[in-house]
Chains A and B, each alone.
Chain A
Amino acid sequence: MSETTTPATATPPDRRVSGVSIRLDGVTKRYPGQDRPAVDDVSLEIPAGETVMFVGPSGCGKTTLLKMLNRLIEPTSGRIHLGDEDVTDQDPDRLRRRIGYVIQAGGLFPHMTVGTNVALVPRMLGWDKRRTATRVDELLDLVGLDPAVYRDRYPRELSGGQQQRVGVARALAADPPVLLMDEPFGAVDPVTRLRLQDELLRIQEELGKTIVFVTHDFDEAVKLGDRIVVFDVGARVVQYDTPEAILANPAEEYVADFVGAGATLKQLTLTRVGDVELRQVTTAVVGTDSAQAVAAVRSAGHDFVVVLDERGRPISWPTLAELTRTTTVPAAVDERLPVVDLRSTLNDALDTMLAASQGGVVVTGRREALAGVLMVESVMAAIQRSRAEVAG
Chain B
Amino acid sequence: MTAATESSSLGAPESVTRRADETTAGAGRGDWRALATQPLLVAVGVLAFVLWRANATLTETEARQLGWTALWTGIREHLLLTVASAVIVLLIAVPLGIALTRRPLRRFSPLISGIANTGQAAPAIGLFVLLATWLGFGFGTTVVALVVYAALPVLRNTMVGIQGVDPRLVEAGRGMGMSAAAVLFRVELPLAVPVVLAGVRTALVLLVGTATLATFIDGGGLGVLINTGITLSLDSLLVSGAVLVALLALAVDWLGRVVEHVARPKGL
A interface list, Cβ under 8 A from B: 70, 72, 93-98, 100-101, 103-105, 107-113, 120-121, 124, 144-146, 149, 154-162, 165, 170-171, 189, 191-192, 195, 198-199, 286, 309, 313-315, 331, 333-335, 337-339, 341, 362, 364, 367-368
Contacts and interface: CB of A to CB of B under 8 A. Distances in A.
Interface string B170-212: 0111111111001000110011000000000000000000000
Interface in B16-36: 16-21
B27 to A, nearest CB: 13
B103 interface: no
B14 to A, nearest CB: 4
Contacts of B133: none
B3, B8, B168, B268 interface centre (most CB from chain A within 10 Å): B3
A93 B177 contact: yes
Given A111-B267, A333-B5, A192 B13 contact: yes
B15 interface: yes
A144 B8 contact: yes
B267 A155 contact: yes
A165, A331, A335 interface centre (most CB from chain B within 10 Å): A335
Contacts of B19: 157
Interface in B113-165: none
Contact of B1 (A107, A144, A339): A339
Query: Which 8 pairs, one residue from A and one from B, show the smallest C-beta to C-beta distance?
Result: A107-B172, A154-B267, A97-B177, A96-B177, A111-B265, A101-B175, A159-B14, A144-B9
Contacts of B8: 144-146, 162, 165
20 contacts: A93-B178, A101-B175, A105-B168, A107-B168, A111-B265, A111-B268, A112-B267, A124-B182, A144-B10, A144-B11, A145-B11, A155-B267, A156-B268, A191-B13, A195-B12, A286-B4, A315-B1, A333-B1, A362-B1, A368-B3
B166 to A, nearest CB: 8
Given A103-B172, A313-B3, A339-B3, A113 B267 contact: yes
B2 interface: yes
Contacts of B190: 111
A179 to B, nearest CB: 12
Given A72-B174, A144-B11, 9 more contacts: A93-B179, A97-B177, A103-B171, A112-B267, A162-B8, A195-B10, A199-B9, A341-B10, A368-B10
Nearest to A364: B3
A106 to B, nearest CB: 8
B69 interface: no
Nearest to A369: B3
Nearest to A70: B175
Nearest to A197: B10
A96 to B, nearest CB: 4
A230 B107 CA distance: 38
B120 to A, nearest CB: 31
B233 interface: no
Contacts of B21: 157
B3 A333 contact: yes
A333 B4 contact: yes
A314 B173 CA distance: 40
B2, B9, B179 interface centre (most CB from chain A within 10 Å): B9
Contact of A158 (B9, B12, B13, B17): B17
Contacts of A109: 169, 172-173, 186-187
Interface in B234-268: 265-268
A144 B172 CA distance: 22
A111 to B, nearest CB: 4
B197 to A, nearest CB: 14
A76 to B, nearest CB: 19
A341 to B, nearest CB: 7
B7 interface: yes
A161 B17 CA distance: 10
A124 B14 contact: no
Contacts of B14: 159-162, 192
A291 to B, nearest CB: 23
A108 B20 CA distance: 17
Given A101-B175, A113-B267, A156 B20 contact: yes
Nearest to B15: A159
B4, B19, B168 interface centre (most CB from chain A within 10 Å): B4
Contact of B176 (A101, A144, A149, A315): A101
B174 to A, nearest CB: 6
Contacts of B10: 144, 195, 198-199, 341, 368
Contacts of B20: 156-157
A120 B5 CA distance: 30
Contacts of B265: 111
Contacts of B191: 110-111
Contacts of A161: 11, 13-14
Contacts of B11: 144-145, 161-162, 165, 195
Contacts of A192: 13-14
A252 B222 CA distance: 82
A337 B1 contact: yes
B4 A96 contact: no
Contacts of B174: 72, 96
